[in-house]
Amino acid sequence: MLLTYYQSPETIECGIDEAGRGCLSGPVVAAAVILPKGFSNKLLNDSKQLSHKKRKLLREIIEREALAFSVSFVDNNEIDEINILQASFLAMTKAAESLRIRPEILLIDGNRFKSTTNIPHICIVKGDTKYQSIAAASILAKTYRDDYMEELAKEYPHYSWHKNKGYPTKDHRKAIKDHGISPFHRKTFNLLGKPTLFE
């Protein structure tokens, strides 16, 4: 069972996670979630551990019951401009600052976070497997990004984004080789999987 609080029930804690860092195309998406005091759901877990059906079900519950939630996108052009790590930090910051309730602490999934926000934060490695608010954020980030990539797939069917969601699968890389890149590919990424000088 995931933990409900990092500090205490009296603290307004906000879980934050992102999706799409390792993709070759599309945005990086971050979500911020403040759950109500005493919230508990036994299905809630890291989004990667859940089926598509369970993620959709939990998204409805989270959006209905959360005190506040926010989802922010940083597109592939900005990722190319500032790099994926900075883009992830930016998406997380935007999500936190878009909440209608100001959190007292941000629980960040991962080991690093840099932000212009002055809200205190704590980084928690594998936080989406430890705290409900981070797991909830991981579900929103993942489902919003998946929905976006499925819509893009209708315009660019070659790349099978409805299945791979922009991740570097063999089929995705073959499609890039055969058809070239789309306006949504990250040009600074190793799109064809070619060996680098460091390999």
pLDDT digits (tens, 9 = 90+) for 153-189: 999 999 999 999 999 999 999 999 999 999 999 999 9
pTM of the model: 0.94
**Which amino acid type is present at position 49?**
Q
For residues 79 and 26, the answer to whether their CB atoms sit within 8 Å is no
Assigned CATH for 13-179: 3.30.420.10
Domain parsing of the chain, residue ranges: 13-179
Res 199: pLDDT: 37
**Which amino acid type is present at position 142?**
K
Res 195: pLDDT: 67
Q: Report how far apart, in Å, the C-alpha atoms of 23 and of each of 36, 75, 133, 184 are.
A: 32, 12, 24, 11
